[in-house]
């Protein structure tokens, strides 16, 4: 995962988030970045490409996929 000077956070070249640079290097941001990376890895393990939509905006719905009741 990388962050551009404009604040866009990328996972393997795909934008998955945007951080305000003044906040991006804080302890709180580090924790959120680790969670973001965990979600990206989980999606890739399911054969999906991580995007801002499925990592953030629809994550609640996405994380339930494949869960047996």
Listed residue (60, 61, 38) closest to 50, CA to CA: 38
Q: Is the pLDDT of residue 3 over 90?
A: yes
Contact indicator for 26, 20 with CB cutoff of 8 Å:
no
CB 11 within 8 A of CB 40: yes
8: confidence class by pLDDT, cuts 50, 70, 90: very high
**pLDDT bracket for residue 69 (50, 70, 90):** very low
Q: With a cut of 60, say whether residue 61 has pLDDT above it.
A: no
Across the range 33-43, mean pLDDT stands at 95
**Mean pLDDT across the chain, nearest whole number?**
89
> For residue 18, what are the β-bridge partners?
8
């Amino acid at each position: 995962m990388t962050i551009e000077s404009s604040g866009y956070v990328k996972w393997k070249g795909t934008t998955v988030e945007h951080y305000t640079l003044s906040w991006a290097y804080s302890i709180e941001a580090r924790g959120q970045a680790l969670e973001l990376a965990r979600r990206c890895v989980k999606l890739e393990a399911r054969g999906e490409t991580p995007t801002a939509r499925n990592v953030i905006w629809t994550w609640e719905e996405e994380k339930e996929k494949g869960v047996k009741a």
